[in-house]
Chain A
Amino acid sequence: MSRFNLRSERVPWALIVFLIALWLPWVGSRYDTLIGTQILIYALFALSLNLLLGVTGLVSFGHVAYFGLGAYICALLMKSLHWPFLLSFPAAGLGAGLFALVFGFFCVRLTKIYFAMLTLAFSQIVWAICFKWNDVTGGDQGLPDVPFPDLAWMSSLPGFGHFRIGDEFYFLVLVLVMLCVAALRRLERSPFGRVLTTIRENPERAAFVGVNVRAYELAAFTVAGIFGGFSGALFGIFNRGVYADFVFWSKSADVMIMTILGGMNHFWGPVVGAAVLTILNQQITSYTEYWPLVLGTILVVLLFAFPGGIMGALDAGWTRLTHRRRNA
């Protein structure tokens, strides 16, 4: 059975996506690059959530906490302490991961809806602190004017001389996001990733082949927090400011919609979901102010027609196509 398969590990999807995305600043407008940057950042955010949702089977309603913490940590370090991006970015991931470790310690003690509620509760605590702690987070004023990382060196690269700062930042985001994606992909295919899927499939059985279910859930929660923090750090800079609504719970819903829309049972599902939702949002809001209505309708149709999301539908369609060809 050597038929070409969309899921095949031999198709270097990460490389293909990277090479296509690399051309955007050359062929697209300034606006396209802006949307591209946003898609990349949300793709990483959605992928980090899917480590919990699709891989481990944990429904977190509070994943935005780690996105927001990453954004605040990176922005504070760069703006208030004048740390270089090269240090602030990893620190944001580690900081968010540390919070995920502490909050997760309590969350994994509960299951199902109680787990989901506790993740939501922690994210609302983070939001309340960000909203009220004026001295550090700027409270409801937020942290405006987060500096761009120093990317002047990029213009000395051959062929990169004529780009604006926004394009240069796009390249930086592209490389960092793809490195994170590659790491997550590697992680999901590893024995650790396999253990997480056994927990998703059947925690009782997983425990009785020897898995310390809580410990692995906590590890997954922490890793998801780290990558969520990375995506938040990038978003804060992209947005040129970090505000309390970065941590508001409705953003947890947004990223969950992206993941489910794209397909949480497929590695690239969240990436596709992030791209489709961001582009639809831009397109539709230019025609009508009723974007949430359109989004709701799309979701209803999709959930009934393609419960596996866009990637699930593509996968099924592809399988049917190749089967027919083989049987013909």
Chain B
Amino acid sequence: MLEISALRKSFSGFVAVSDVSFTVETQQIAAVIGPNGAGKSTLFNLITGHLQPDSGTVVLDGKDITGVQPHQICRMGIGRSFQRTNIFPRLSVFENVQAAYLIHRGRGPNFWSRSSSFYHDDVEALLGQIGLREHASSLAGTLSYGNQKQLELGLALASDPALLLLDEPTAGMSASETHDTIALIEKIASERALTLLFTEHDMDVVFSIAQKIAVMHQGRLIADGPPAEVRADPTVRRVYLGEH
């Protein structure tokens, strides 16, 4: 599904991502872990076209998407949530999701019809799925932090992605919110047969749902494999898991 090979990115001398290669299979749930500053978010930004790599390639379903613009990558079937919550704060929850549908279904150039009349059922259904139906008419910016994260998941899902990238989906959440969010993500991933790649700081979450784990440290990939293997890896234990 996703093949990353020898990806490298430096910012004025500082190497944020250094020769990272790994693959994610179709419908696999994969996690990237590593301490703060290990290069996880940079890696995501390289995959989704927000940053251009210095070298290396990103291949999606056999197609080279290295250096393609973010909006085009989104149309190729990659959905994404951001670490810092990224929604449309002064639109209602309903309008947020509706906008994502309008865009994904190519209605953007339509300047004559009323946007409020489009895709009511689809928006309602998706809001139900992500648990925000009762907040439909609230302004998105007034939602609680956890709900905003849910909405962001909704925005990513509206473009009907095959591969979903979630950057710290539970950052800043309480233990029970984390639990609910992860259960929701797992359920949606299996219902929609999604391939999932996520970063996460909560090791319990990672080891409970990931089928494959990549460990980054100072921009390099130091381990990559099934959870049991990664947990037993001596390098990982030394530089990362041992700290906790």
Would B71 and A190 count as touching, CB distance under 8 A? no
B113 at the interface (CB under 8 A from A): yes
A191 touches B155 (CB 8 A): no
B107 sits at the interface (CB 8 A): yes
Q: How far is the CA of A197 from the CA of B72 in the complex (A)?
A: 20
Q: Is B159 an interface residue (CB 8 A)?
A: yes
- Contact status of A213 and B113, CB under 8 A, knowing A191-B118, A195-B102, A202-B89: no
CB nearest to B118 among chain A residues: A191
B78-105 Cβ-contact flags toward A at 8 Å (1 or 0): 0010100011111100010011101110
Q: How far is the CA of A140 from the CA of B110 in the complex (A)?
A: 43
- Residue contact B99 to A194, C-beta cutoff 8 Å: yes
**Pairwise interchain contact A208-B70, C-beta atoms closer than 8 A:** yes
Q: Does B48 contact A (CB under 8 A)?
A: yes
Quick one: given A201-B91, A209-B99, A211-B103, are A194 and B70 in contact (CB under 8 Å)? no
Tell me, yes or no, whether A12 is within 8 Å of chain B by CB: no
Expressed in whole angstroms, the Cα–Cα distance for A195 and B105 within the complex equals 12
How far does the Cβ of A197 sit from chain B's closest Cβ, in whole Å? Answer: 6
Q: How far is the CB of B65 from chain A (nearest CB, A)?
A: 14
B155 contacts A192, C-beta separation under 8 Å: no
Inside 8 A of A212's CB, which chain B residues have their CB?
A: 69, 71-72
The reply on A306 being an interface residue by CB < 8 A is: no
CA distance A17 to B103 in the complex (A): 33
Pair B108/A208 contact, Cβ less than 8 Å:
no
Among residues of B, the one whose C-beta sits closest to the C-beta of A9 is: B116
Q: Which residues of B contact A193 (CB under 8 A)?
A: 111, 115
Evaluate contact between A198 and B74: CB separation under 8 angstroms: no
A197 to B156, CA, bound (A): 18
- Beta-carbon nearest neighbor of B165 in chain A: A208
B75 within 8 A of A: yes
Measured CB to CB, the closest approach of chain B to A157, in angstroms, equals 31
Min CB distance A271 to B, Å, is 20
What number of residue pairs across chains A and B have CB atoms under 8 A from each other? Answer: 101
A216 at the interface (CB under 8 A from B): yes
Give chain B residues whose Cβ lies under 8 Å from the Cβ of A204.
Answer: 50, 82, 86
A189 near B115 (CB under 8 angstroms)?
yes
Complex: A215 Cα to B68 Cα, angstroms: 16
Q: How many residues of B contact A (CB 8 A)?
A: 38
Contact with B along A194-226 (1 / 0, CB 8 A): 110110011011111111110010000000000
| Residue pair A210, B103 in contact (C-beta under 8 Å) | yes
Known A198-B91, A210-B104; contact A190-B114, beta-carbon cutoff 8 A: yes
Q: How far is the CA of A187 from the CA of B88 in the complex (A)?
A: 20
Q: How far is the CB of A213 from chain B (nearest CB, A)?
A: 7
B contact residues around A186 at 8 Å (CB): 111-112
Tell me whether B110 and A190 are in contact (CB under 8 A): yes
**B109 lies within 8 A of A210 (CB):** no
Report the minimum CB–CB distance from A283 to chain B (whole Å): 35
- Tell whether B158 is near chain A: CB-to-CB under 8 Å: yes
Chain B nearest CB, measured from A9 CB (Å)? 8
Complex CA gap A16/B67 in Å reads 52
Supposing A202-B88, A204-B82 touch, asked if A192 and B111 sit within 8 A by C-beta, the answer is yes
The one of A189, A201, A216 that contacts B108, using a Cβ cutoff of 8 Å: A216
A186-B112, A194-B95, A211-B108 given as contacts; is B82 within 8 A of A205 (CB)? yes
Contacts of B74 in A (CB 8 A): 207-210
Partner of B71, one of A9, A201, A202, A207: A207
Which residues of chain B from 54 to 71 have a CB within 8 Å of any chain A CB? 69-71
- A 52-72 to B, binary, CB cutoff 8 A, 1 in contact else 0: 000000000000000000000
Q: When the two chains form their complex, are residues B103 and A192 in contact, meaning their CB atoms are under 8 A apart?
A: no
Task: Please determine whether B86 and A195 come into contact, CB atoms closer than 8 angstroms.
Answer: no
Residue numbers in B under 8 Å from A195 (CB-CB): 99, 102-103, 108
Residues of A participating in the B interface, judged by any CB pair closer than 8 Å: 9, 186-187, 189-195, 197-198, 201-202, 204-213, 216
Given A209-B74, A212-B71, 15 more A-B residue pairs with CB atoms under 8 Å apart are A9-B116, A187-B111, A191-B102, A191-B109, A191-B110, A191-B113, A194-B95, A194-B115, A197-B88, A198-B91, A202-B88, A204-B82, A207-B69, A207-B70, A209-B155
Instruction: Give B residues with C-beta under 8 Å from A.
Output: 48, 50, 69-72, 74-75, 80, 82, 86-91, 95, 98-100, 102-104, 107-116, 118, 155-156, 158-159
Closest 3 CB pairs of A and B: A201-B88, A192-B111, A191-B107
Interface pairs (24), CB distance under 8 Å? A186-B112, A187-B111, A189-B114, A190-B110, A191-B109, A191-B115, A194-B99, A195-B103, A198-B88, A198-B99, A201-B88, A204-B82, A204-B86, A205-B86, A207-B70, A208-B80, A208-B156, A209-B103, A209-B155, A209-B158, A210-B71, A210-B100, A210-B103, A212-B69
